[in-house]
Chain A
Amino acid sequence: MDGKVKKQRKHQQKHSGPQAEKKKLKKQGPSTEEDERRRNPKAFGVQSAVRMAKTFHRAQDIKAKRHHVPLVDRTPLEPPPVVIVVMGPPKVGKTTLIRCLIKSFTRQKLGDISGPVTIVSGKKRRLTFMECTNDINTMIDLAKVADLVLMLIDASFGFEMETFEFLNICQVHGFPRIMGVLTHLDAFKNNKTLRKTKKNLKHRFWTEVYQGAKLFYLSGMVYGEYQTQEVKNLGRFISVMKFRPLVWQTSHPYVLADRMEDLTDPEKIRTEPKCDRTVSLYGYLRGTYLKNKSNIHIPGVGDYQVSDVNFLADPCPLPDAQKKRALNEKERLLYAPMAGVGGVVYDKDAVYVDLPASHVKQQQEDVRPTTELVQSLLDTHATLDAKMAASKVSLFSGSATLNPEDVEDQGRFQEETVLDPETGRSRRRVVFGDDQAQDSGSSEEEDEDEGVDQGEDEGEDEEDDISLFLKETRERDAPPQKRQKVEQTAEVPVFADSEDELEKSEDEEGSDEESSEDDEGQETEGSDNDEEDEEEEEEEEGSEEEEGSEEEQGALRWKESLQQKASEAFLRQQEAAPNLRKLVYGTVAEAADSQDEDEELGGLFRVSRPQNSKRVHADALDCSRFHPDITSSWDLQQVLDSIRDCFVTGKWEQSEDAATLLKEDDELFGDFEDLETGEVHKKQSGEDDEQAESDSDADEDEDEPQVKPDDIEQKKQRLEKKRRLKERFDSEYDDGEGTYLDDLKEEMQKQAELNRVEFEAVDDETRVQYEGFRPGMYVRLEISALPCEFVTNFDPHYPIILGGLSSSEGNVGYLQMRLKKHRWYQRILKTRDPLILSLGWRRFQTIPLYHIEDHNGRHRLLKYTPQHMHCGASIWGPITPQGTGFLALQSVAGIKANFRIAATGVILDVDKSVTIVKKLKLLGYPYKIFKNTCFIKGMFNTVLEVAKFEGASIRSVSGVRGQIKKALSTPTGAYRATFEDRLLMSDIVFLRSWYPVTVPQLYNPVTSLLLPVGQKDGWAGMRTLGQLKFELGIRNKPNTDSLYKPVTRAPRRFNPLHIPKDLQKALPFKSKPKQQQPKGKTPRDLQRPSVIREPHERKVIALLQALGTVHNYKTKKAKTAKHAKHKEFLQQKNQQEEAKAKRQRELRKKLYRAMGQAEKKSARSSLKGASED
């Protein structure tokens, strides 16, 4: 507490004495299991093999259960910012929390928070905060991209429906990390209730998320902000948190757009305000690799194809790797273009973030990243211009195109390239026409900016902006007279779809390449040489082909000169190394040229050639064989020798050769003694080493440079040897441990390492073409033909997510899924009622059919979902990989009191057809009945129909089974049927059959983002039948026959029972009908009057009664006494009897014994007599 805290005495350890001895013994090694085993071997012996097997099995099971399927670690080196979604019911303090967190991380105060806010939180982590409004559409979208959810809960109120809805949404879409934050804790005045509430909320939260989930408490507000220390703690939690990879997120690229620009021509917007817009969206790429021209889905808008992607300099980069613990002020970056950080100025290609005056010092330091951004954007801006310049119009389909230069006065400003004499780099000045006077002011600013940038660039390293740098280098390499063309080619992405080089004929190709070489000024000299080689080679090949044909005709006769030629050509072919990448993928410039090459007549019409050589190639035989042309040369020894080493009989590499391997083994294990023969094998490596050394010495004497590679070689060998040794040791040592899982993990790790290393050295521009854009990059996606509402109704509070789709996910088909009504949803769901599904990236309305699988695999249609059971559902919708979870809602409009998630489930199957059937009972009526045969009508209409069902089993309502036999001619549709029993005319016969159902093809994406601002949560799609009827006031008229009417029953009357007289006589009295009347009331005249006694008489009677009582008592007493006496007597008698019996028994015994002895004696005597005889 105070400064002078008493210093506590340190514990003194004993060094001698019994205590110390004991401790020493303990430290030496507590009685190990080994010891115990030795001491008491019986206890550890195998009692029962079966039990031992069982325990072992169980132990292994438990061990195996803990394992996860190992996955390849595909996290990028520089991961994108972590998406933190702050979610909670209204007025719970979401914005305040974000503001506080941002303030604690970056020391900056944000005013209005809209759109994602990206900050650098640490040396290796960036965070993107996104606030989630209470619109269920937003909740669904953000749950799909969130890495961490901060779930704010108003403790003074308790849980609200939104919280649970959001938890359920998260569960369906993969469950990101969730951290609860309790706010409004200062509302509690009583400490005990506070504690109780905290505990209650915590436990409820745990049951929803997982046991022990972190729940954070923000205890109170200070000046409208949370307490600094608590916010700091929360920030720490966030910045050390680890995130789980979610299946959907890791298998799809996605971008949470933090910036949106409308690129549509303003003139077009002016003339046609509702025209489709071209929009560029910016954001960090997350998930997996994004390919150019791939399909994306924007939840709330629809599916689009990305027309262009490029990566930009990171606006919020991580600090460079430095060995220090904390970030300094200028590394704490903040990037939030959509949020009004002190007023945001949107320019065509830049965003200027104004910071308040108190941050002036910071602002200066923050300039660098902003300018980087501006620079990169300037660069991309040029791309667009180039594109516009490159765009062409054709008057007739298939005719030549008109260039913009041809059309006069089209461009509103022209570009002028100016060569900077100092840097040798071209700068593009914008020269404006007269009508653009009002724009010139801003563009001048822009120019100024550019100038400043360049100044900086020249001063600093130029590599920070890669694209710019590349462009510059290209330009420098190119000769000056070709600059104009370079300008164009450099801007066009290299891998746009190009025509195939192969499709051109040989001669065409030659000319092509010559013409295209001008364009490829950026190519280095070396590659040009390669090209020439290639041409040569092609020519040679041509000649070879001719030769080949000749050979075939000549029936394998060889001339000397031919042979010579062939072998030379063959060997020279090895040396030629064509630039394969260019050969395969070509370049865009070439393709454009080849298209232009078509001859034109009068500028509009093209000459049609009947046999274009290119066409011939396009229509060539489709065959995968790669026919060898040079079989001939395989007679030559020289050629044969060129493949000697491909065979096991050839020479082996140093590392694989058996002899060297053996030698190495010797080196590894040194000398050993053969115990049987007593022979001692000595290590030879010493000599070898010496020899090698002497060799190297000699080499050194000869010349220096040759030695060095030798040294390196030796070092490499040594390392190799070491590695091998280690491997062997590892494999021996870890033999027990090396399970299948470990192997798998190791394999995965190797793969991850390879993934990391493979393209490390390649520059980003090229790497993007091989891999696609990798997660973590800041990308700009250009999307054309977006509806104008996307721009006009843009609201930064709503997230714009660009979810990448894999190749087949853009198609529509039938989806079969397993669905369960949510247990908190109040009603069951009806088949054919439209339902809004959130599946994959999408939200869409569709019409599901519910079904259940019968025991024989039949999918039987259900009218309603079961109450508490899974059922199948089939919809027409976007093809999504199986195993993807989905959730269903009845409506996304407004906020209702009830729980809104109607059902959840998972996709099982994707198909282009469905096999749902519903039960169909065909009814018929017998009109003629023979014994077991019936004629039945009314079931079918024609003979043909009956013929189709011949042999089908039918049944009557009473349960009599039968079979359809044959159609009858009249009446049409009637048939003969046999039954197992005779039918009645009143029976109804029915045939059970199954009728296939078609799933309605409704796929209606929820376009909530296109709705006007403020009404975005009001999307209403197709209404359910129930809703429609309710709104229109339509009530179903029930079938009057089906209505319940009050049951009126006539009272039943029974006739009196009549028994014949004879029978009556024979009956016993009990059963005879009783003739006499039951006894009625005694009539008055028969009633006897009550007797009233005189006092005297009363006395007499009382006396008599007393006497009687006495008498009774006496007699009773006497009786009991007599009874007892009699009992005694009986006992005595019994005893006597027993004694008597005993006596008699003994007597009898004696008698029998005597008799037996006598008999024995007589028998013995008789035996004796016999033996004597």
Chain B
Amino acid sequence: MASQGLVYDGCNFFRQRLVLSTLSGKRVKIKNIRSRDDEPGLRDYEASFIRLLDKVTNGSRIEINQTGTVLFYQPGLLYGGCVEHDCNPQRSIGYYLEALLMLAPFMKTSLSATLRGVTNDPIDPTVDLLKLTAIPLMRKFGIDGEGLDLKVVKRGMAPGGGGEVMFKCPVRRTIKPVQLTDPGKIKRIRGIAYSVRVSPQMGNRIVESARSILNQFLPDIYIYTDHMKGTSSGKSPGFGLTLVAETLNGTFLSAELSSTPLGQGDPVLPEDIGINCAKQLLEEIFRGGCADSSNQSLALLLMTLGQPDVSKVLLGPLSPYTIEFLRHIRDFFQIMFKIEVVKPLEDERKGGDKTLMTCVGVGYSNINKTLK
């Protein structure tokens, strides 16, 4: 057949490429993966990600050369169903979950995945953050109902892991076009201060400090302290905070910070985490938009895969990851976004410039879903 593959260099944006390849059905070849590195080739977590991708698809072909520096991926069809995966603890579950969130609505049968590994680490968006921001974002695109659910069964902090997450997602044949141009005003701030295998007092200290910053803006702040014990507390100690600001129009902006993993860098005070996380939330609010910075790519993907209608989403400044994602979308789907910078009015105090992303969907329909 005529569909030619795409060739990329380097291991950066590895997930984007594989996810978009799976959705578009175009094969992809990634060359020079850490070819100049002391340890060339794919890392364990990338291999684990490929394995997860293999579990949710049927008939995909993956070829990796001897040194692991070249990867060829011919996507199969998204199958779904019950999937269990032990994620590599080098990266947190968020790394894997971000990709699953993109793939899950387009499976043959609704996905119910159990992921085990690190739930919270400082590198990737944590499971809590995705639960609080990505899930409501997906609901806006018509992926809703009983089936959509993300549950943290066990919490596992960075080096050791031992956490468990249940993710369920229904399948959709088509995605609705959206017009998310007004984020609305923030009505409440919620958060989770989690702590495992440390003193339960840590949570309270985080909450206290975070409130001290946020109370200047809003009285409606509630931060849950989530202290897990016993088997559901994973293998390593740690604590952290996830904050979410909810607006009147149902936009969720979030920030998070967690303690440095055991034995990696200096230990941090819970107060610092509280204060810095609150500041990060303010920063996120300053950036603004209808999807927070870590979910920009998800929103853009769902816009791309919509009906051939105009979709609009107002975002904050584009992150480098999103910019690369836009380029990849153009490679895989030939979709280009109209990017307009929206400047705030003179007397408005609503943070920085926003970007208004407009596109016409490709008219993607879920070919995997069975017709009865």
A residues at B contact (CB < 8 Å): 72, 74, 251, 288-289, 291-295, 302-305, 495, 497, 500, 502-503, 556, 573-574, 577-578, 580-581, 583-585, 610-612, 615, 617-626, 628, 630-631, 634, 640-652, 751, 754-755, 758-759, 769-772, 806-813, 878-883, 906-913
Contacts and interface: CB of A to CB of B under 8 A. Distances in A.
B308 interface: yes
Nearest to A754: B310
A810 B179 contact: no
A624 B321 contact: yes
Interface string B333-365: 111111101010000111111010011101111
Contacts of A908: 370-372
Interface residues of B, number: 103
Contacts, number: 257
Interface stretch (B31-39, B145-153, B236-244): B31-39
B320 A502 contact: yes
Interface string B136-159: 000000000000000000000000
Given A292-B334, A630-B283, A913 B58 contact: yes
Given A303-B2, A584-B318, A908-B371, A618 B351 contact: no
Contact of B350 (A623, A643, A809): A643
A881 B282 contact: no
A646 B279 contact: no
Contacts of B284: 628
B224 interface: no
Given A645-B349, A770-B359, A908-B372, 19 more contacts: A305-B2, A580-B318, A580-B355, A584-B326, A615-B35, A618-B9, A618-B10, A624-B297, A625-B123, A625-B293, A625-B319, A626-B294, A626-B322, A628-B280, A754-B310, A758-B310, A769-B336, A807-B364, A911-B59
Contact of B24 (A580, A808, A910): A808
Contact of A770 (B95, B360, B367): B360
Given A292-B334, A293-B334, A619-B33, A72 B185 contact: no
Contact of B2 (A304, A573, A584, A623): A304
B274 interface: no
B327 A585 contact: yes
A631 B60 CA distance: 44
A500 B324 contact: yes
Contacts of A292: 334
Contact of B334 (A772, A880, A881): A772
A857 to B, nearest CB: 12
A480 B327 CA distance: 34
The 8 closest A-B pairs by CB, nearest first: A912-B59, A618-B10, A808-B25, A626-B319, A810-B3, A291-B334, A303-B2, A626-B293
A245 B289 CA distance: 37
B124 A625 contact: yes
B327 A500 contact: yes
Nearest to B129: A625
A944 B352 CA distance: 73
Nearest to B280: A628
Interface in B1-51: 1-4, 9-16, 23-26, 32-37
B123 A640 contact: no
Interface in B270-311: 272, 276, 279-280, 282-286, 288, 293-294, 296-297, 307-310
Contacts of A578: 341
12 contacts: A577-B341, A619-B37, A621-B123, A624-B319, A625-B123, A631-B283, A641-B349, A643-B350, A647-B218, A770-B336, A882-B371, A910-B368
A758 B177 CA distance: 14
A656 to B, nearest CB: 9
Contact of B186 (A618, A646, A751, A755): A646
Contacts of A807: 23-26, 332-333, 362, 364
B349 A912 contact: no
Nearest to A303: B2
B185 A650 contact: yes
Contacts of A303: 1-3
A624 B325 CA distance: 10
B229 interface: no
Interface centre among A620, A808, A812 (most CB of B within 10 A): A808
The prevalent SS among residues of B at the interface is loop
B98 interface: yes
A806 B364 CA distance: 8
A610 B36 contact: yes
Contacts of A74: 308-309
Given A807-B24, A882-B370, A611 B32 contact: no
B349 A643 contact: yes
A502 B324 CA distance: 8
Interface centre among B95, B272, B348 (most CB of A within 10 A): B348
A82 to B, nearest CB: 21
A187 to B, nearest CB: 48
A302 B1 CA distance: 8
Given A251-B363, A644-B349, A813-B59, A625 B10 contact: no
Contacts of B334: 291-294, 772
B331 interface: yes
A503 B11 CA distance: 12
A906 B371 CA distance: 10
B2 A642 contact: no
B27 to A, nearest CB: 9
A880 B360 CA distance: 22
Contacts of A810: 1-3, 25
A304 B282 CA distance: 51
A646 B185 contact: yes
Contacts of A617: 10, 12
Contacts of A583: 323
Contact of A619 (B11, B296, B323, B363): B11
Given A577-B341, A646-B351, A806-B362, A811 B1 contact: yes
B248 interface: yes
A60 B355 CA distance: 47
A648 B248 contact: yes
Contact of A495 (B4, B330, B332): B330
B286 A584 contact: no
B46 to A, nearest CB: 8
A288 B349 contact: no
B66 interface: no
B151 to A, nearest CB: 22
B190 to A, nearest CB: 14
B125 to A, nearest CB: 6
B352 A574 contact: yes
Given A289-B308, A556-B272, A584-B318, A881 B365 contact: yes
Contacts of A646: 185-186, 285, 288, 349-351
A62 B36 CA distance: 71
B17 to A, nearest CB: 10
A585 B349 contact: no
Nearest to A1003: B1
Nearest to B45: A622
A1122 B219 CA distance: 130
Contacts of A806: 362-364
A625 to B, nearest CB: 6
B264 interface: no
Given A288-B308, A622-B11, A913 B338 contact: no
A811 B3 contact: yes
Contacts of B10: 503, 615, 617-620
B293 to A, nearest CB: 4
B363 A881 contact: no
B140 to A, nearest CB: 14
A997 B16 CA distance: 37
Contacts of A883: 371
A215 to B, nearest CB: 35
A640 B216 contact: yes
B138 to A, nearest CB: 15
